[in-house]
Amino acid sequence: MIRYALRCTNGHDFDGWFRSAADYEAQAEACEVTCPQCGSALVEKAPMAPAIARGGREEAAPEAHQEVALSPRDVMLAKLAQLREHVEKTFENVGDRFAAEARAIHEGRAEERGIYGEARGDEVKALIDDGVPVAPLPPAPKVN
């Protein structure tokens, strides 16, 4: 196992444990390494001091970062943030035209593509009643 000190683009530091350097690289490229605090998948290795084994019975210096087990809630929030980030990167934001645009795509009157935006409750209900596939996008996580 190898431990990396990691930092997301929002400046949150955390540790990650991986089977190998190649395992870290593969997970990072697949956006599977996410910040436990804000859910960002834009993560890079942070500078860290090497762990050097010494002879004798010297006590190890305390680590700057303590490994923290993530609660199921934190894991879920990180995955939801990752989903939102993916949608915002790859889908078109149509804003308050969402209901009309989703209906037009469903009926073949507009180009087939992924979209997201805002809609009132009655608009969403009408889309669902008419068989238009829609789902709510989780809100962006609060950054502390």
pLDDT digits (tens, 9 = 90+) for 10-47: 888 888 888 888 888 888 888 888 888 888 888 888 87
List the domain boundaries for the chain: 91-144
122 phi and psi, to 5 degrees?
Answer: -65, -35
pLDDT tens digits, 67-108: 456 677 777 877 888 888 889 899 999 999 999 999 999 999
Put simply, whether the predicted model's pTM sits higher than 0.85 gets the answer no
Q: What angle do CA 113, 116, 121 make, to 5 degrees?
A: 125
